[in-house]
Amino acid sequence: MKQILSLLIFCASYSTVLAQPGYLDTNFGDGGTVVVPHLASGLDDRATCVLVQPDQTILVAARSFNGTTWDLALLRFNEDGTTDPSFGNNGAIIHSFGDGNEIASSIALDVQGRILVCGTAYSDVANTTSDIFIARFLANGNLDGSFNDGSGFLIRSVHQTEDGEQGHVVIAQPDGKIMMVGQTGPSLYPEILHERYLEDGTLDSTLEGDGSSLPYTGTSRAHALAGKLDGNGNLLLAGYASLIGSSERKMLLFSINPDGSITNDFGASNGVTLNTAESNTNLAYAIAITPNGNVLLGGVRIGDRSEQMISRYTADGLVDNSFGTDGSVFLNTTTPYSDVVNDILVDSDGKILVAGSFGNAMQGRNWVVSRLNADGSYDLTFNMTGSNVSTTDDGDADCVQLALFSNDKILGAGWARVDGNNHIVLRKYLKDISTSVEPDQVRSLLSAFPNPTDQNIMVTFTLQHEDKIALRLLDAQGRIVQQAISGRSFAEGEHRINVDLEQLPEGLYELDLRGTEHRWTTRIVKN
Residue 251, pLDDT > 60, answer: yes
β-pairing, 480-490 vs 446-449, is unpaired
Count of all residues that appear for the chain in the document: 527
Q: pLDDT at position 477, please?
A: 56
**Each residue of 270-311: pLDDT tens digit?**
788 988 766 678 999 999 999 999 999 999 998 888 899 999
Q: pLDDT at position 218, please?
A: 64
Residue 4, pLDDT > 60, answer: no
d(CA 49, CA 129): 23
Residue 70: how many CA atoms within 13 Å on its side-chain side? Answer: 20
Q: In a 3-state reduction of DSSP, which class is residue 440?
A: helix
Nearest to 97 by CA among 126, 135, 61: 135
Point out the least confidently predicted range of 12-16, 264-268, 461-465: 12-16
Confidence of residue 470 (pLDDT cuts 50, 70, 90): confident
Q: pLDDT at position 193, please?
A: 93
Q: Is residue 8 part of a domain?
A: no
User: Mean pLDDT across the stretch 491-516?
Assistant: 85
Domain count, the chain: 1
**Each residue of 132-164: pLDDT tens digit?**
999 999 999 999 999 999 999 999 988 666 667
d(CA 97, CA 152): 11
Q: Is residue 455 part of a domain?
A: yes
Cβ density class 23-42: b for 16+ within 10 Å, e for less:
bbbbebbbbbbbbbebbbeb
Residue 517, pLDDT > 70, answer: no
User: Whole-number mean pLDDT of the chain?
Assistant: 87
Bridge-partner residues for 60, per DSSP? 50, 75
Confidence of residue 201 (pLDDT cuts 50, 70, 90): very high
Point out the least confidently predicted range of 66-70, 292-296, 454-458: 454-458
Confidence of residue 407 (pLDDT cuts 50, 70, 90): confident
Residue 103, pLDDT > 80, answer: yes
Residue 13, pLDDT > 60, answer: no
Residue 227, pLDDT > 90, answer: yes
d(CA 424, CA 30): 15
Q: pLDDT at position 242, please?
A: 83
Q: Is residue 484 part of a domain?
A: yes
Q: What percent of the chain has pLDDT over 70?
A: 89
Q: Is residue 262 part of a domain?
A: no
**Each residue of 331-390: pLDDT tens digit?**
976 666 789 999 999 998 899 999 999 987 767 889 999 999 999 999 999 988 899 998
Q: Is residue 135 part of a domain?
A: no
Q: pLDDT at position 504, please?
A: 87
> Is the separation of the CB atoms in 517 and 467 below 8 Å?
yes
Q: For the domain that residue 517 is a member of, what is the CATH number?
A: 2.60.40.1930
Residue 38, pLDDT > 50, answer: yes
Point out the least confidently predicted range of 24-28, 291-295, 330-334, 434-438: 434-438
Residue 451, pLDDT > 90, answer: no
> Is the separation of the CB atoms in 433 and 473 below 8 Å?
no
Q: Is residue 86 part of a domain?
A: no
Residue 470: exposure state from Cβ atoms within 10 A (0-12, 13-18, ≥19): middle
Q: Is residue 330 part of a domain?
A: no
Nearest to 233 by CA among 213, 263, 189, 212: 263
Dihedral pair phi/psi, residue 55, rounded to 5° = -85, 10
Q: How far is CA 396 from CA 129, 180, 229, 339, 400, in A?
A: 30, 32, 34, 12, 13
Q: pLDDT at position 525, please?
A: 84
Residue 3, pLDDT > 60, answer: no
d(CA 168, CA 172): 14
Residue 436, pLDDT > 60, answer: no
Q: Is residue 65 part of a domain?
A: no
d(CA 224, CA 241): 9
Residue 466, pLDDT > 90, answer: no
Q: pLDDT at position 473, please?
A: 85
Higher pLDDT, 389 or 414: 414
Residue 323, pLDDT > 90, answer: yes
- What is the domain extent for residue 450? 439-526
User: Mean pLDDT across the stretch 41-49?
Assistant: 94
Cβ density class 183-222: b for 16+ within 10 Å, e for less:
bbbeeeebbbbbbbbebebebbeebbeebbbbbbebbebb
